[in-house]
Structure 1
Amino acid sequence: MKIKKIVGKKLKAIRLKNDLTIQELAEKSLVSSNMISRIERGLTIPSVEILMKLAGVFDKSINYFVEEVATTHEIVFSSPGERDKTVYDDEHNMHTESFTSGLRDPQFTSFFCTVGAGGSSGVENMYHPGDELIYVLEGRLKVVIAGEKHVLNAGDSLSFKSHLPHRWDNIGEGEAKVIWTLSPFTII
């Protein structure tokens, strides 16, 4: 099943299980009702930021929306080319491969990300509960956290509390290859 369909099906199921209308979920998550409707109908793949906002309403990790329960395990081994992949829109210009996809009830999520030249998290800051670790394998990434600018080159890492407003841009000439790890998401 395609990722759009899995996310949409799971979002609608948990929304209905919690007796919420699309509008009520929009108000609780600060995600537009139009976006929620598009996700539920399998018309779009939400960004990580939107998924985190939706997951927070239900006290779930973003993995809940992208994994099928029947395929989760307590031990997961993966090789390049075999990991679950997500391609984000042109604004983000980012492809991700999940290291934790298939792990039953993980306490963190981790991704191998390839950010195309000029890729960005967008003009708006994002913020969410938990902790975040960024490790740059190749390329250059500018990360701004609470107004403080950090330039990460190959081998550099940055850890921070994700509730601080943050955004990122690939400022290198080519792709940036990054390992991104996020801690659990809980409702504050």
Structure 2
Amino acid sequence: MIGARIRELRTERGLTLAQLAAAAGVSSGLISQVERDLADPSLETLRKIARVLDLPLFSLFQEPAAAAVAVVRREGRMLVRSPAGGISYTRVSPGHGRLEVLEGCLLPGGSSAAEPWSHPSEECVLVLRGRLVVEVSGTEHLLEEGDSCSFDSSLPHLYRNPGEEPAGFLVTVTPPSY
């Protein structure tokens, strides 16, 4: 599904496969394989593609035509996993509108990105289980179960799990972005 969506968005924007690949800093072969569902892109690759297409990351998974009331069943959630950082997200919100809600799981010692990154939004993170360090502009904020943190996502940030157990957390992002 994601491959077809990327191809659709790329062609809507009049980009060739090579142009998208060059702008995203990945190989044309990778984009070709992703579009044909022969390769699963990493979370970082998806972020780069979304940035080039000027879309929120999870809009790459968006389904057509939103209903007035959207119910997202646990078993129907969209899942994105990053094996390098030990993080996975499921989209709790339906994937359209001005608010995105994600449930994250971060393995011990893992981080949400290799380096802090920014995007034009506002975030609020709530720790459901475990411990989470939220680094914003080089300042670390240790959150325990039940703690939350809100910040301007245009500031470089990342999440890290300093604990010995997986950390579960809920992230709200408005407006949805990379």
Q: Deviations over 1:99-132 (max 9, x none)?
A: 112x5x3112111122222221232222111111
Q: Which residue matches 1:44?
A: 40
Q: What is residue 3 of structure 1 aligned with on the other side?
A: none
1:182 aligns to 2:161 (yes or no): no
- Structure 2 residue 142 is the aligned partner of structure 1 residue 148: no
**C-alpha distance in 2, partners of 1:69/1:99?**
17
1:159 to 136, 140, 150: 150
Match of 1:24 among 19, 25, 28: 19
Query: What is the distance in 1 between the residues matched to 2:99 and 2:22?
Result: 26
Query: Does the aligned pair in 1 maintain the 2:57–2:177 contact within 8 Å?
Result: no
Q: Given the alignment of the two structures, is residue 55 of structure 1 paired with residue 38 of structure 2, yes or no?
A: no
Aligned counterpart in structure 1 of residue 63 of structure 2, from 48, 61, 68:
68
Mapped contact 1:109–1:181 kept (Cα < 8 A)? yes
TM-score by length of 1: 0.79
* 1:31 Cα deviation after fit: 4.0
- Structure 1 alignment gaps of length 5 or more: 1-5
Which ranges in structure 2 are unaligned for 5 or more consecutive residues?
A: none
Which runs of 4 or more aligned residues in structure 1 lie more than 4 Å from their structure 2 counterparts after TM superposition?
Answer: none
Q: Percent identity?
A: 30
Secondary structure in 2 aligned to 1:158?
strand
Q: What do the CA deviations read for 1:59-94 (whole angstroms, capped 9, x no partner)?
A: 433343112215x32212345x33414141322222
SS at match of 1:11: helix
AA partner of residue 44 (structure 1): D
CA distance in 2, matches of 1:163, 1:36: 27
- The residue aligned with 2:71 is 77
Q: Decide which of 90, 94, 103 is 1:97's aligned counterpart.
A: 90
Normalising by the residue count of structure 2, what TM-score does the alignment of the two structures yield?
Answer: 0.83
